Structure 1
């Protein structure tokens, strides 16, 4: 019995964790390695996976950690990675392609941290869940585009959210015994869900907070990538600028905690210290506060239900601070409202939203699409989708077909606008 089953029955267990890190060369992965290497008596990394664009770093990580297996999503990078590992004396098994990443996700371990960016993470999420692993989920896209598939594969409470907002929400819910869990994420209130009035997800507002839609017409990729708070990869950073990322987080919160969309609200909090809140029916609100440092939710995700001492510095309460909250400007940033519509539609609609956005962001970064046209393109593609019967069973093939169609259609619309 691996740790997913053990911890659902006995959360007091604090044995040394064997961890697999997916997306190890990205922002989440590199910070996760910082956490585990700082506490080698508590964690041991047994497998790594990455896209394949930074094989030198991946080889360095594999050798330093002494992992047993490494995967690259890009099959063309496998030979180069193998050569680098052998040169450095590593005998780690090398796997290639999305199926290789999924294989690493299902290897014997205690916790899988999925920090892969984009739709590529879906097969790995499913593989980890089906293998009975505790899943520390930073790859929100896999849950969003494959919601019904993930729900079917997961035990209640098998997912520990690593997104800072959902990490915050999970801690604001009263913890209940494993036998009472009904949702995917740890932290769900089970039968006490009727005491929750709404979830409040905070947004920094990104680099364009306060600008009107007209102001956004001429913004550049460099401006969009200058996030005022977080350091992330280019796609996620642009998603934060458009607030598409916040729209994805609303769908994720709905799927993780079973709260309807009309009871999930986004507010702008530029300081990014309050990461999210749960408002209860008696008028009280619980909020989770910490500095904007992803090492905190990463550490909690791989050590759940325990905390990692010194994962990151705490808030300095001796220093004067001001925290502000503002309503979201839906006219300038329509991505959140569109995401709520897409999430409510279900089926493959979230996959279409995500895929069209990835194509539009790539075009914006390549200076082939204006910034406001990113969400406009997504909205157009979503509106053209032929929706399946919402009651029909969803398959992995359905998700990938919708993803491919949305990418092709988005490229066509982008080419016409050039």
Structure 2
């Protein structure tokens, strides 16, 4: 996939306004995207929203604010949500606002098919696979924050996407996409994905066994959900990002490195054949990646506050300790195996994270159990299908629970 497109030739010319559908609008990515859109009404217009349904008042507020034509909820009752929506419209002084409402497990898929210029997939988990495919099949540009859909979908997603149709929103992959503009594809030697190292950076493996769920949720830089934060502590998240980088940029696994950078100001780097390394630097937030996902290849002015270069700062880099954190190496093996292995890795990990937070297993048992599930998986033959992925996930969850019960 090419990411070295030039920006708008005439910097004085404003890019045309784009319609945007946001999946997972009440989550961290979705709420930040709504903020960016509201500050740039000449660039973006939100036309459709979807969410899980756990925060009906928030999505109602968002819908009224943007006057979207379609709202999707994975769970809830249409009549009850309509009452909340009408109440928020009255509060905002908006009259005669009657958007279409879709309720059910396919709500995000319906929103993804709504025909927006850009679909921002901010859903968490592999449940985002069908909406990802729906957006691609409809022809929308897919701003992808839902890494799991690409990782578990693999060849399915790549077959569905035209060149340049997927724009990464993960900060690391956005940084790589930006850095790739500095040279041609044949000039790229390797990709360097940065990692914070999580809350247990530098801790030896023997001590990791005793860490608590509360300690695992103490991410040094970000406030995220339970699964993602725990994945950052085990470095499963970084392993998933290595697979994502391989799929997005068509770079072999042996040319994708991970380096620990605790401050997270350098979001990732590209090394070129002449020895030059191009890095994307910015505050450790998601605003620039989200804005670029919506506006690619053009930038959105003032999306984020620039770094204050008048203040002294030390940035550090450390090698990844594969002995203490084997999740990345396992992810490389899974990614190279392909087929349904990434889906099994991801699903088994989610089950183990739940068991860890329930107090059933130790922190170090998470990856050990995932390794056993991966080792015992027998992928189906032939071209990968969505049904294959879903069946593999179901098997992986059940098999992980069998192993956990026997521990």
Match of 2:293 among 284, 288, 301: 301
Are residue 238 (structure 1) and residue 245 (structure 2) matched? no
1:411 is matched with which residue? 401
Q: 1:135 to 1:215 in 2, by over 3 A?
A: same
For residues 31-56 of structure 1, the C-alpha deviation after alignment (integer angstroms, 9 at most, x for no partner) is: 11111111222211111111222222
Per the alignment, in what secondary structure is the counterpart of residue 46 of structure 1? strand
- In the aligned structure 2, how far is the partner of 1:71 from the partner of 1:284? 46
Q: Is the 8 A contact 1:19 1:109 kept in 2?
A: yes
Are residue 164 (structure 1) and residue 177 (structure 2) matched? no
Shift of 1:97: 2.7
Are residue 124 (structure 1) and residue 125 (structure 2) matched? no
TM-score, normalising length: structure 1: 0.90
1:29 is matched with which residue? 30
Are residue 110 (structure 1) and residue 102 (structure 2) matched? no
- In the aligned structure 2, how far is the partner of 1:217 from the partner of 1:148? 36
Q: Is the 8 A contact 1:111 1:134 kept in 2?
A: yes
Are residue 48 (structure 1) and residue 55 (structure 2) matched? no
TM-score, normalising length: structure 2: 0.93
- In the aligned structure 2, how far is the partner of 1:79 from the partner of 1:349? 42
Question: Structure 2: 5+ residue runs without aligned partners?
Answer: 90-96
For residues 316-351 of structure 1, the C-alpha deviation after alignment (integer angstroms, 9 at most, x for no partner) is: 111111111000001111000000000000001101
Question: Structure 1: 5+ residue runs without aligned partners?
Answer: 1-7, 176-188
2:386 is matched with which residue? 396
- In the aligned structure 2, how far is the partner of 1:376 from the partner of 1:309? 46
Shift of 1:260: 0.3
Q: Is the 8 A contact 1:105 1:124 kept in 2?
A: yes
2:320 is matched with which residue? 328
2:92 is matched with which residue? none
1:181 is matched with which residue? none
Are residue 207 (structure 1) and residue 214 (structure 2) matched? no
Q: Is the 8 A contact 1:24 1:48 kept in 2?
A: yes
Q: Is the 8 A contact 1:26 1:233 kept in 2?
A: no
Q: 1:222 to 1:10 in 2, by over 3 A?
A: closer
- The 5 A counterparts of 1:38-77 are 38-74=39-75, 76=76
- In the aligned structure 2, how far is the partner of 1:38 from the partner of 1:14? 15
2:220 is matched with which residue? 228
Q: 1:410 to 1:287 in 2, by over 3 A?
A: same
Q: Is the 8 A contact 2:352 2:369 kept in 1?
A: yes
Match of 1:313 among 291, 305, 308: 305
- In the aligned structure 2, how far is the partner of 1:79 from the partner of 1:222? 39
Shift of 1:214: 1.4
- In the aligned structure 1, how far is the partner of 2:24 from the partner of 2:178? 25
Aligned length: 392
- In the aligned structure 1, how far is the partner of 2:282 from the partner of 2:265? 5
Per the alignment, in what secondary structure is the counterpart of residue 126 of structure 2? coil
1:16 is matched with which residue? 17
- In the aligned structure 1, how far is the partner of 2:293 from the partner of 2:370? 31
For residues 128-181 of structure 1, the C-alpha deviation after alignment (integer angstroms, 9 at most, x for no partner) is: 011000111000000000011111110001111100000000011137xxxxxx
1:3 is matched with which residue? none
For residues 184-217 of structure 1, the C-alpha deviation after alignment (integer angstroms, 9 at most, x for no partner) is: xxxxx7xx43322111000000111111111111
- The 5 A counterparts of 1:352-367 are 352-367=344-359
1:81 is matched with which residue? 81
Match of 1:292 among 263, 267, 284: 284
Q: Is the 8 A contact 2:380 2:388 kept in 1?
A: no
- In the aligned structure 1, how far is the partner of 2:174 from the partner of 2:319? 22
Q: Is the 8 A contact 2:115 2:139 kept in 1?
A: no
